[in-house]
């Protein structure tokens, strides 16, 4: 099972790497958005899947990354790659104090608190005159989508590698323990605050870096575009569908969802939202843990474990 999964994953990755050589226009844009969403899903998976702190506001870090990068490129004329790196660092730097404050909340309070926090960040960022005060920020047209695509793919692959590491590490075990029962984990020696903040920081770094790329992709950034609820929700759904707290969940969920989304949009544009929502509910009831755990359970039963 493991070898099969790894082979499929490798194949998918190779295809993704080769994509720009064969695709352009709409198909390329779509591939880029898919990879971006999967990357976001991986970032989300760390704080929400592994640590169990469901967040509805990770988009705040995406937006911060986008704006930080946008400002460096537009106003200070930086080359976009280091600017995007700074975008990621800025998001992470924001996350650490924010985490100390917000991670004291639990369950739905944290989820909605993060939602509120994201809205606040959006309002505050766009109130700064330098960012064009909501009327948008123009970036010089870049090197075309290829550079941004590879940046995004690299971050996404990095996120997958990070997740693989977390899965097998002591850090990952501690996170999962605190997800199951935080108080018990603490009485078993887990430094819960430190673990949570680290997870939160990683879950901010990834969208921050991705946001940097997105700024270049759009070349014109405005608040609603980069603090996009739609992107946020899309990545959340991918992670949940695929399997929260697993290594391959976000990838599988991402690929499946993109296909479903494309088909639905093409054939039923008027009732797209309805079907999408309905499908989500149906899938959740049928596979409450997501696709990957369901498949893993099937294999485990076949082996007669």
Partner 1 sequence: MSDPLLAVENVSVAFGGVQALSDVSLEVRNGEILALIGPNGAGKTTLFNVISGVLRPDAGQVHFAGRAIVGWAPHRIARAGIARTYQIVRPFGRLSVVDNVAVGALVHARSIGQARNDARDIVTFVGLETYADRPASSLTLTQRKRLEVARALALRPRLLLLDEVMAGLTPTEMDGMAEFVLRLSERGIAAVAGIEHVMRLVMRISHRIVVLDAGRRIAEGDPAAIQADPAVIEAYLGAPLGRGD
Partner 2 sequence: MILLQLAINGVLLGGVLALSALGFNIVFGVMRVVNLAHGDFVVLAAVFAAYAFAQAGVNPLLLLPLTVAAGFVAGALIHYLLLRRLPSELAGAEASSLTLTFGLSYFLTGAGLAIFGGRFVSVPFLTGAFQVGPLSIPQARLLAFGVAVVLSLAFAFLLRSTALGRAIRATSQNLDGALACGLDVDRVRTIAFALGTAVAAAAGTLMSFLYNLNAQQGVLFTVNAFAVVVIGGLGSYSGAVLGALILGLTESFASYFLGATLAEAAPYMLFILVLLIAPGGLRGRRVA
d(CA 180, CA 221): 40
Out of 194, 267, 277, 299, point to the residue binding partner 2 (CB under 8 A).
Answer: 277
CA distance 130 to 125: 9
How many residues make contact with partner 2 (CB under 8 A)? 47
Q: What distance in Å separates the CA atoms of residue 73 and residue 32, rounded to the nearest whole number?
A: 21
CA 22 centroid distance within chain: 26
Closest of 244, 163, 152, 144 to residue 203, by C-alpha: 163
Question: Within 228-247, which residues bind partner 1 (CB under 8 A)?
Answer: none
Q: Quote the least distance from Cβ 178 to partner 1, whole Å.
A: 9
Q: Which two tokens stand for residue 154?
A: 């690299």
Within positions 159 to 188, which residues make up the interface with partner 2, using CB under 8 A?
Answer: 179-181
Among residues 229, 255, 259, 231, the alpha carbon closest in space to that of 243 is found at: 255
Instruction: Kindly indicate which of the ranges 62-70, 77-85, 108-116, 164-172 contains the residues binding partner 2, using the contact rule CB under 8 A.
Output: 108-116
DSSP sequence for 117-175: HHHHHHHHHHHSGGGTTTS-EE----S-HHHHHHHHHHHHHHHHHHHHHHHHSHHHHHH
CB 113 within 8 A of CB 55: no
The partner in contact with residue 48, picked from partner 1, partner 2, none with C-beta cut-offs of 5 to 8 angstroms by kind, is partner 2
| Nearest-approach distance from CB 98 to partner 2, in angstroms | 11
Q: Which is nearer to partner 2, 134 or 158 (CB)?
A: 134
Stretch that binds partner 2, among 8-16, 72-80, 151-159, 234-242 (CB under 8 A): 234-242
The Cα 194–Cα 164 span in angstroms is 20
177 binds, among partner 1, partner 2, none (CB under 5 to 8 A by kind): partner 1
How many CA atoms does the CB half-sphere of 88 hold within 13 Å?
Answer: 19
Q: Which is nearer to partner 2, 80 or 232 (CB)?
A: 232
Could you say which residues in the range 170-199 bind partner 1, by CB under 8 A? Answer: 170, 173-174, 176-177, 180-181, 183-192
Residues counted in the chain: 305
- Is 262 one of the binding residues for partner 2 (CB under 8 A)? no
Least distance (Å) between residue 271 CB and partner 1 = 36
- The torsion angles phi and psi of 15, rounded to 5 degrees, stand at -60, -45
Query: Which of 123, 130, 263, 300 is close enough to bind partner 2 by CB under 8 A?
Result: 123
How many residues belong to the site for partner 1 (CB under 8 A)? 19
Helix (H, G, I), strand (E, B) or coil at 19: helix
Residues 11-70 that bind partner 2 (CB under 8 A): 48, 52, 54
Among 82, 107, 108, 168, binds partner 1 (CB under 8 A): 168
Asked whether position 164 contacts partner 1 by CB under 8 A, the answer is no
Between 26 and 270, CB nearer to partner 2: 270
Is residue 104 involved in binding partner 2 (CB under 8 A)?
A: yes
Phi, psi of 71 (to 5 degrees): -65, -45
Query: Which C-beta is closer to partner 1: that of 31 or that of 246?
Result: 246
Dist CA 297 CA 82 (whole Å)? 43
Tell me which residues touch partner 2 (CB under 8 A): 48, 52, 54, 101, 104-105, 107-109, 111-113, 115-117, 119-120, 123-124, 126-127, 134, 179-181, 229, 233, 236-237, 240, 244, 270-281, 284-285, 288-289
């Amino acid at each position: 099972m493991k070898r099969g999964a790894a082979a499929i994953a490798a194949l998918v990755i190779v295809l993704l790497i080769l994509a720009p050589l064969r695709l352009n226009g709409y198909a390329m844009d779509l591939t880029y958005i898919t990879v971006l969403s999967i990357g976001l899903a991986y970032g989300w998976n760390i704080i929400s899947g592994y640590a169990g702190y469901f967040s509805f506001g990770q988009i705040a870090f995406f937006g911060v990354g986008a704006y930080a990068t946008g400002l460096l490129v537009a106003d200070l004329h930086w080359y976009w790659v280091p600017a995007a790196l700074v975008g990621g660092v800025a998001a992470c730097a924001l996350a650490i104090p924010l985490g100390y404050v917000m991670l004291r909340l639990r369950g739905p309070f944290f989820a909605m608190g993060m939602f509120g926090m994201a809205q606040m960040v959006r309002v505050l960022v766009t109130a700064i005159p330098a960012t064009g005060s909501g009327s948008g920020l123009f970036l010089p047209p870049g090197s075309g989508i290829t550079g941004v695509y590879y940046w995004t793919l690299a971050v996404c692959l990095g996120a997958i590698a990070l997740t693989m590491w977390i899965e097998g590490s002591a850090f990952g075990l501690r996170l999962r323990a605190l997800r199951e029962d935080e108080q018990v984990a603490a009485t078993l020696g887990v430094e819960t605050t430190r673990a949570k903040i680290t997870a939160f920081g990683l879950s901010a770094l990834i969208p921050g870096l991705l946001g940097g790329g997105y700024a270049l992709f759009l070349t014109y950034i405005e608040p609603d575009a980069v603090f996009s609820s739609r992107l946020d929700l899309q990545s959340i759904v991918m992670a949940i569908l695929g399997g929260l707290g697993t290594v391959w969940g976000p990838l599988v969920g991402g690929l499946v969802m993109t296909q479903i989304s494309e088909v639905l949009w093409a054939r039923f544009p008027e009732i797209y939202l309805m079907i999408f929502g309905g499908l989500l509910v149906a899938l959740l009831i049928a596979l409450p843990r997501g696709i990957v755990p369901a498949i893993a359970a099937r294999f485990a039963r076949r082996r007669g474990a």
